[in-house]
């Protein structure tokens, strides 16, 4: 183990640790203001986000809404709301 002096420690830049939490319902900061000049970029970013959340089927209607009484209806409604949020 090497012994360091205070002088060598001060020369090392310190960075705050980054903590990344991946959750299905986590916020997705796009960092752009949506307007007519940035729609294409915004659309690509949102498309990637929805794809990463495995929710594309809710937009393409591949994930059809179950009929009332189906035990999967509640899950479908929740997942559909996630796509909208």
Q: Which residue has the higher pLDDT, 29 or 66?
A: 66
Alpha carbons 43 and 31: distance in angstroms, whole number: 13
User: Tell me: the pLDDT tens digits for 36-80?
Assistant: 888 888 888 888 888 888 888 988 889 899 999 999 999 999 988
Please state the pTM of the whole predicted model.
0.53
Domain ranges of the chain: 6-84
């Amino acid at each position: 183990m090497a012994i360091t002096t205070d002088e060598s420690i001060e020369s090392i830049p310190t960075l705050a640790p980054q903590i990344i939490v991946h959750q299905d319902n986590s916020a997705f900061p796009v960092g752009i203001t949506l307007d007519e000049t940035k729609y294409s970029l915004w659309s690509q970013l949102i498309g990637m986000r929805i794809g990463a959340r495995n929710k594309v089927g809710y937009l393409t209607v591949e994930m059809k809404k179950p009929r009332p009484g189906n035990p999967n209806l509640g899950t479908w409604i929740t997942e559909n709301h996630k796509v909208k949020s």
